[in-house]
Structure 1
Amino acid sequence: MFVRCEVCVLVFLYVQSVASRVDREPECSRFHYDEKLLEKMVRMEFNVERLQQRLDSVSESVGKLDGM
């Protein structure tokens, strides 16, 4: 009887610990956040440079058409 009660208590505590982990939001370190932010900024800088090249190319093409 005593062993069964111990097992029930252990199962209850395990379920409680799992349930408390599920309810919490995922933890995120400051380093992880900064790394992800830097990664997004680098991608954005690359995209802006690519768009600038395309804009320069289109401006050059328009300039050639205006000269005709």
Structure 2
Amino acid sequence: MTHTAILIPARDIRRGDEFDLHRHTRTAFRDAVKTTHGSIRVALTNGGEAYLPADREIRVSRPVTEALYATG
């Protein structure tokens, strides 16, 4: 599987996205969920959670599925 790096608001983090937080690479276990006061919560694959401002720009590495095309 290949990955692509993109810059997105934290509220757009999806399951499987990898991002750096506190000098460690984290992987989202689920999509970001809105919390109070303009923040989001992201469940992480290691069992922890990350709380981020929803509008914070964050660089993620997102898995890209490759489409198979028949050639004739």
Q: Which category describes the TM-score, using the shorter chain as reference length?
A: under 0.3
If asked which structure has higher relative contact order (CA below 8 Å, sep 6+), I would say 2
The normalised TM-score by structure 2 is 0.20
The normalised TM-score by structure 1 is 0.21
